[in-house]
């Protein structure tokens, strides 16, 4: 019904027919299966934009790698783990897909990890945020690229505590991601001497947040931490403003806020909000150049998930180019050996627990007066070094690290 597929323009039928692919590339084609939320709550933060980003990576290789054509297929997983797992299994079993990409929503990433483990395929996770993906839930071929809940906690969590926000109440999305984010932020808050007064779990997705926000207000906590994302965060922030919670003196900490959320809320509502980002289009010349090309294709500036999808697909193809093989173990070994060098990451390191370690940024949303126009939304407050954001490898509880 909502499931649709699309072959990347980069892989022409001609290339498929005429490729004299090298013997090292299985089935004579490098095929990437991208699963994302195409129309739901997360379709603006990930969604069709991640397909464009993956296509941009493939275009850099001219559509072929190691003599074989690169094919991108994509499908809408509707944020449902069973749909994602079935599609991934079908792709792996019958359509020669070599790697799964994007995988927003933790439950989806975990379900696809199961399939990837059974089929020994690579999973390039960009959109899912939960830190368990490279801890207790890790698999040897699961590579977690863009960010995780620990990095978000270190960024936004510590910044808010430092400003005196030492008592917290969480409004948490009721699934694996919300729980992971709340846990990671609680650790940071408690380590800094702060207190967690309580939390309320809301169904995912939810449309009316007034009740949850009033419960948070009644807790008397100085900080209301939003452990949710996308449309849920937008509605929660709107409700906080409408019910005068911000004016009454409580701070709202959006623990995972994307550029597209700021765009949707408008600067009037979002100004002053602190957020931890893996990427911002206006960081340097490289990011501006890439983002401008992305904007021309989509009409929107990229989110971190979209830029991270580009980076992960590009690095995967780089490794195939370097080894001349698409064998899973060979490629993963090479991806770990090479530093991740592109507009998204400089000197990024892919660890044995699957974590790609790169710098993160603490940003603050500009006021309407500070902004020069659409998409000029953030000022970078601090660069968070990769090791600080993601923690040392010794901290990881991944059994196969």
Partner 1 sequence: MLTDLLGFPPQVLFGQLLLGLINGAFYAVLSLGLAVIFGLLNIVNFAHGALYMLGAFATLALTQYLGIGYWGALILSPIIVGTLGILAERLLLRRLAGIDHLYGLLLTFGMALVIEGVFVKLFGASGTPYAAPAQLQGGINLGFMFLPWYRGWVVVASLAVCVFTWYLFERTKIGAYLRAGTENPRLLQAFGVNVPLLTTLAYGYGVGLAAFAGVLAAPITQVNPMMGSNLIIVVFAVVVIGGMGSIMGAIVTGLSMGVIEGLTKVFWPEASSTVIFLVMAIVLVLRPAGLFGKTA
Smallest distance from the beta carbon of 362 to partner 1, in angstroms? 23
201 binds partner 1, rule: CB under 8 A: yes
Please state, in angstroms and rounded to a whole number, the distance separating the CA atoms of residues 323 and 400. Answer: 24
**Smallest distance, Å, CB 167 to partner 1?**
18
- The token duo for 66 is 């190691």
Provide, rounded to whole angstroms, the least separation between the CB of residue 43 and partner 1. Answer: 4
Among 212, 279, 316, 377, binds partner 1 (CB under 8 A): 212
C-alpha 29: how far from chain center: 27
Contact 53, 5 (CB under 8 A): no
> Residue from 59, 114, 166, 174 that binds partner 1 (CB under 8 A)?
174
Site residues (CB under 8 A) for partner 1, limited to 224-243:
230-231, 234-235, 238, 242-243
Q: Which of 26, 210, 287, 323 binds partner 1 (CB under 8 A)?
A: 210
Least separation in angstroms between CB 5 and partner 1: 16
List the one residue out of 121, 78, 128, 81 whose CA is nearest residue 102.
128
Given 51, 161, 265, 360, the residue binding partner 1 (CB under 8 A): 265
Of 230, 5, 2, 224, nearest to 105 (Cα)?
230
- What are the two backbone dihedrals, phi and then psi, of residue 364, each rounded to the nearest 5 degrees? -125, 140
Residue 205: asked if its preceding bond is cis (omega within 30°), the reply is yes
**Contacts with partner 1, 245-264, as mask; x by CB under 8 A:** ---x-----------xx-xx
Site for partner 1 (CB under 8 A): how many residues? 41
Provide the minimum distance between the beta carbon of 38 and partner 1 in the complex, in angstroms, as a whole number: 8
Stretch that binds partner 1, among 94-102, 116-124, 205-213, 272-280 (CB under 8 A): 205-213
Nearer to partner 1, 40 or 354 (CB): 40
Interface with partner 1 in residues 31-90 (CB under 8 A)? 39-44, 47
Question: How far is Cα of residue 221 from the mean position of the Cα atoms in its chain?
Answer: 29
* Smallest separation (angstroms) from partner 1 to the CB of 75: 15
Spatial CB neighbours of 285, under 8 Å, sequence gap ≥ 6: none
Footprint of partner 1 (CB under 8 A): 1-2, 39-44, 47, 174, 200-203, 205-208, 210-212, 214-215, 218, 230-231, 234-235, 238, 242-244, 248, 260-261, 263-266, 269, 300
């Amino acid at each position: 019904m909502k499931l649709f597929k699309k072959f990347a323009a980069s892989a022409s039928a001609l290339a498929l027919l005429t490729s004299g692919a090298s013997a090292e590339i299985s089935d004579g084609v490098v095929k990437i299966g991208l699963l994302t939320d195409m129309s739901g709550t997360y379709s603006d933060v990930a969604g069709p934009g991640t397909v464009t980003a993956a296509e941009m990576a493939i275009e850099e290789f001219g559509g072929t790698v190691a003599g074989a054509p690169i094919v991108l297929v994509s499908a809408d997983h509707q944020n449902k783990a069973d749909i994602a797992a079935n599609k991934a299994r079908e792709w792996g079993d019958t359509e020669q897909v070599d790697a799964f990409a994007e995988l927003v929503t933790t439950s989806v990433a975990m379900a696809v990890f199961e399939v990837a483990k059974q089929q020994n395929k690579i999973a390039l996770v960009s959109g899912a945020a939960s830190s368990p993906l490279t801890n207790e839930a890790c698999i040897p071929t699961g590579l977690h690229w863009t960010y995780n809940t620990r990095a978000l906690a270190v960024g936004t969590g510590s910044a808010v505590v430092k400003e005196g926000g030492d008592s917290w109440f969480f409004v948490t999305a009721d699934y694996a991601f919300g729980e992971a984010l709340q846990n990671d932020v609680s650790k940071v808050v408690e380590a800094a001497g702060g207190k967690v007064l309580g939390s309320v779990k809301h169904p995912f997705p939810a449309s009316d947040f007034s009740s949850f926000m009033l419960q948070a207000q009644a807790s008397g906590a100085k900080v209301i931490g939003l452990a949710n994302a996308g449309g849920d965060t937008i509605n929660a922030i709107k409700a906080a403003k409408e019910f005068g919670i911000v004016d009454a003196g409580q701070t709202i900490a959006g623990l995972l806020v994307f550029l597209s959320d700021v765009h949707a809320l408008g600067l009037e509502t979002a100004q002053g909000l602190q957020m931890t980002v893996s990427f911002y289009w206006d960081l340097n010349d490289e990011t501006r150049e890439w983002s401008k090309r992305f904007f021309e294709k989509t009409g929107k500036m990229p989110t971190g998930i979209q830029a991270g999808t580009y980076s992960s697909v590009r690095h995967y193809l780089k490794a195939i180019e370097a080894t001349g093989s698409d064998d899973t173990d060979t490629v993963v070994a090479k991806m770990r050996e090479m530093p991740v060098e592109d507009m998204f990451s400089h000197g990024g390191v892919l660890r044995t627990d699957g974590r790609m370690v790169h710098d993160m940024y603490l940003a603050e949303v500009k006021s309407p007066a500070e902004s020069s126009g659409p998409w000029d939304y953030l000022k970078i407050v601090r660069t968070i070094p990769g090791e600080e954001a993601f923690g040392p490898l010794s901290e990881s509880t991944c059994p196969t690290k």
